[in-house]
């Protein structure tokens, strides 16, 4: 198993390369890293392309759904995404701060925690 870490948002992902020898995989792809070290890998949220009209949420606050109004691209930097809050206010975020809303967040209200659970 190889542990990948997104260089943009620090999201951790576990993956298994399609080979029998992990040490050989490290030697071929990341010769400067010791075997079993975390390796950089862009996560699906940071790799996603957003377009005007897409619905997104902040990773830190998934209860508010924003609408993408524009994307600011630069060849040597990660994209910035301008979104509109439901109240009409527009804000620009780094792509690593947003993601698509999950189906469970949209359809299920948050329930109170049961007694005895953290």
Beta-strand relationship, 90-94 and 12-15: unpaired
Per-residue confidence band for 112, with pLDDT thresholds at 50, 70 and 90: low
Coil, strand or helix: which one is 15?
strand
- Residues 40-82: pLDDT tens digits? 999 888 889 999 999 999 999 899 999 999 999 988 888 999 9
Give the count of beta carbons closer than 10 Å to the beta carbon of residue 89: 9
- Residues 1-31: pLDDT tens digits? 889 999 988 899 998 888 888 999 999 999 9
Q: What is the reported pLDDT for 39?
A: 93
DSSP state letter for 2: E
**Complete DSSP assignment for 22-91:** HHHHHHHH-TTS-TT--EE---HHHHPPP-TT-EEEETTEEEEEEEEEEEEEETTEEEEEEEE-TTS-EE
Q: What is the reported pLDDT for 111?
A: 58
Coil, strand or helix: which one is 3?
strand
Domains in the chain: ranges and CATH: 2-44 (no CATH), 48-107 (2.30.30.30)
Per-residue confidence band for 113, with pLDDT thresholds at 50, 70 and 90: low
Is the pTM of the predicted complex or chain greater than 0.75? no
Per-residue confidence band for 109, with pLDDT thresholds at 50, 70 and 90: low
């Amino acid at each position: 198993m190889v542990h990948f870490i997104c260089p943009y948002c620090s999201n951790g992902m576990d993956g298994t390369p399609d080979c029998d020898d992990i040490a050989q995989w490290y030697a071929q792809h990341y010769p400067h890293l010791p075997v079993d070290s975390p390796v950089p890998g862009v996560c699906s949220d940071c790799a996603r392309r957003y377009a005007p009209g897409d619905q997104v949420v902040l990773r830190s606050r998934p209860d508010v759904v924003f609408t993408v109004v524009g994307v600011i691209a630069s060849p040597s930097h990660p994209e910035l995404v301008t979104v509109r809050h439901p109240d009409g206010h527009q804000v620009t975020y780094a792509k690593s701060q947003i993601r698509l809303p999950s189906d469970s967040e949209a359809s299920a209200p948050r329930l109170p925690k049961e007694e005895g659970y953290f």
